[in-house]
Structure 1
Amino acid sequence: MKKYLSILSLMFIFILSGCNNAPITAESTGVWNHFFIYPFSQLIQLVAAIFNDNYGLAIIFLTIIIRFLIMPLTLKQTKNQEKMKKIQPEIKLLRDKYSGKDRETQLKLQNELMTVYKKYEVNPISMGCLPLLIQMPILFAFYYAIIKTKEIALHNFLWFNLGSADPLHLLPILAALTTFVQFKLSTSEVTEANPQMKMMGYVMPVIILASAWKLSAVLPLYWIVGNVFLTIQNVVLQKIKRKTASNSF
């Protein structure tokens, strides 16, 4: 479910990116604009000022910081997922035992499942949509702050203008490649058993490439930094997982 919601959320971003993208100011109306996007816009400008008006470095820096801040949610979810794998045989036995669809049988099943979750310290809520629902408002607000902060478009970074499409088209290509790598690493176990998810791993980079080709260069820059961070995070987590598994023998 989490993976599907992540994909839908990314598509939702692309749909909304063509909506009202008027510059954000202190006078912008609406709860979302005033309490979410505007503070992020101010933060971007503050960090850019620290970097001598380098908005490219500001976007990179803030993207990494935000990813670090929401990383505990990811780590907690990953830990729960590992615990859930270990107790799957026990859960399967309970589901087979209480296979009836009547209300009484289902209540017994739920009670037994909660006992198992408590025994192994597994939080079923952390396995579902809650971590994603906490993360997405933050990521959405930062994304739209990048789009709506007019000062960004007035500055250059490396070989490109942040407010115009990359003239060399290197950023869209890198955004697509890093999306593919990040997707493969984060869903490797899922895609092996789910052909639809495997296909999505090839579709999403194409969508990213097509979208980023003509978008302001700051957006693929943001996607690249986020993808690289998540890729490194997944590699580190997999190494820790393998080390833990080897030490358990």
Structure 2
Amino acid sequence: MLIGLTVLLAGCTEINEPITADSEGIWNTIFVYPLSWVITKIAEIFNNSYGLSIVLVTVFIRLCILPLSMKQIKSSKAMQEIQPKLKELQQKYSSKDATTQQKLQQETMELFQKNGVNPLAGCLPIFIQMPVLIAMYHAIMRTTEISKYEFLWFQLGSPDYILPILTAGFTFLQQKLMMSTNTSVQQNPQMAMQMNIMLYMMPIMIGVMAFFFPAALALYWVTGNIFMVFQTLLINKPLMAKSNTGGDKK
């Protein structure tokens, strides 16, 4: 998805065309111009601080998708709890013939539904953020006031060298926190090895890509990652405490 995003951003033909209320096309009308308008209007409230506006818009977007993130975490917890039953099904239907595998899939889905597990829950927040991320890129580059604005030590429309490091660092911290609360990963050596590889590879990939993106996009990413760190700490602890209490009662 990251590679696809890079190709998409690099190949956009409208990137040099200013975004206005008269810009045509569904993409410009529904995504790019409204986002540019919101960033501009919020910036006007804070003495034309477009950097602060991007931070506030990012927090607002994260708050909007918070219910989906909570659903994702709860689904992940439920998945951890049914791992023993899932292994039993896999052992019961270990044969590779089509009939047995179909029966395995059927009973696996029934197990998921019974315990409130949604395998796609982890993808929904990402899929929702993808068009927002691309629209943010367009809004930054096609709105002169945003792209030329200097915030803190960097210009929003130009690449920066510190923000990518911060982006990689907070991505690593976020993934580390999520791994520490995922007991199914800790109990599965193969999965733990794969997650450890991703733990280091993902921040490096995102950090390298951020060096080529405008600083405003890296600012959006850093702010979102910081939000996710606090979200993980605030949401996972109550869920873990509830889970431990349930385990003690058993």
Aligned in 2, Cα 1:240/1:152: closer, same or farther, shift over 3 Å?
Answer: same
Question: Alignment partner for residue 197 of structure 2, among 179, 196, 199?
Answer: 199
Deviation, 1:234, is 1.4
2:152 alignment partner in structure 1: 158
Deviation, 1:178, is 1.6
Deviation, 1:224, is 1.3
SS at match of 1:28: coil
Aligned in 2, Cα 1:203/1:83: closer, same or farther, shift over 3 Å?
Answer: closer
Question: Alignment partner for residue 77 of structure 1, among 69, 72, 95?
Answer: 72
Write out aligned runs for 1:110-189 (5 A).
110-126=105-121, 129-166=123-160, 169-188=161-180, 189=182
Contact (CA 8 Å) 2:140, 2:147: kept in 1 or not? Answer: no
Q: Does 1:57 pair with 2:52?
A: yes
Equivalent residue letter for 2:229: T
* Counterparts of 1:71 and 1:179, CA distance in 2: 18
Q: Does 80-89 or 103-112 show the bigger shift?
A: 103-112
* Counterparts of 1:211 and 1:92, CA distance in 2: 39
User: How many pairs are equivalent?
Assistant: 238
SS at match of 2:10: coil
> Structure 2: 5+ residue runs without aligned partners?
none
CA offsets per residue over residues 70-108 of structure 1, 9 Å max, x none? Answer: 111111011011112212222222232233444443443
Deviation, 1:235, is 1.8
* Counterparts of 1:177 and 1:156, CA distance in 2: 23
The two structures, once aligned, show a CA RMSD in angstroms of 2.7
> Structure 1: 5+ residue runs without aligned partners?
1-7
SS at match of 1:126: coil
* Counterparts of 1:154 and 1:49, CA distance in 2: 15
* Counterparts of 1:19 and 1:107, CA distance in 2: 42
* Counterparts of 1:120 and 1:164, CA distance in 2: 48
Question: Alignment partner for residue 18 of structure 1, among 10, 27, 31?
Answer: 10
Equivalent residue letter for 1:14: T
* Counterparts of 1:210 and 1:135, CA distance in 2: 20
SS at match of 2:23: coil
TM-score (norm: length of structure 2):
0.80
TM-score (norm: length of structure 1):
0.80
* Counterparts of 1:123 and 1:180, CA distance in 2: 25
Equivalent residue letter for 1:19: G
Q: How high is the sequence identity, in percent, across the aligned residues?
A: 45
SS at match of 1:151: helix
